[in-house]
Amino acid sequence: MPAAFSEREKALIKSRLLAAAEECLQKFGVKKTSVEQLTKMAGISKGAFYIFYGSKEMLFFEVVEKIQHAILSQLMENLSKKDSDPKTKFIDAIFEAFVLVKNSSLINLIQGNEIEIILRKLPDEVIKKHHSFDSIFIKNLLKVLEIEESGDINTISAALRAVFITTLYEKQIGEYYHEAIKLLVTGLAEQIFKGNDNWNGGLKNESNRGA
């Protein structure tokens, strides 16, 4: 049986596991990293690993969330220093987030389709919680911009996730990829800043057409 750890030991081991996972993510990716490799780097047994995580995918997902939180914190800090109208700040903020993601190890996960490997192994409640975090971020972003929430926050979050998924198809989109992303984000901003009636009305019309 795995040895019992004190709370201090658990915190240290978890920190080492996260560091090991982040290093392996950059060097090898999810598929080529084993639990044995992670535990060897963290200095624990394979059995002890499962005290902390149910699977290597759960560990990698925590690394993904850690990187995402760091990116969003940097984004909010940068946003607070900008002096422009709210819509322009929103467009710049989302596009800047896009650039930060592209310059992080998350881009390897996205473009290598390994994010799908992680998500397939996660419990539904974990994914829902993650999507809830996205919605909370959008709410905080709109609050920082001092604008009213326009429309369904969950829909706005889903729209932004759809924009970020385009990183999978950068080569296919071609040389005007960044311009296309800026256009998509600008279009989303136009919808958000139109106000509740136009946003919700547009959604209802789309739903009726699909019915």
pLDDT in tens, 46-66: 999 999 999 999 999 999 888
Instruction: Examine the domain organization and report whether 20 and 59 are in the same domain.
Output: no
Residue with the larger pLDDT of the pair 137 and 105: 105
Instruction: Examine the domain organization and report whether 8 and 94 are in the same domain.
Output: no
Averaged over 102-114, what is the pLDDT? Answer: 77
Instruction: Examine the domain organization and report whether 4 and 77 are in the same domain.
Output: no
Which of 54, 78, 97 is at the close of a domain?
Answer: 54
pLDDT in tens, 1-43: 456 788 999 999 999 999 999 999 888 889 999 999 999 999 9
State the residue range of the domain holding 34: 1-54
Going by pLDDT thresholds of 50, 70 and 90, the confidence category of residue 135 is low
- Helix-strand-coil split of the chain, %, nearest 5: 80, 0, 20
d(C-alpha 22, C-alpha 64), whole Å: 9
Instruction: Examine the domain organization and report whether 93 and 175 are in the same domain.
Output: yes
pLDDT of res. 202: 43
Instruction: Examine the domain organization and report whether 81 and 2 are in the same domain.
Output: no
Q: Could you give the number of structural domains in the chain?
A: 2
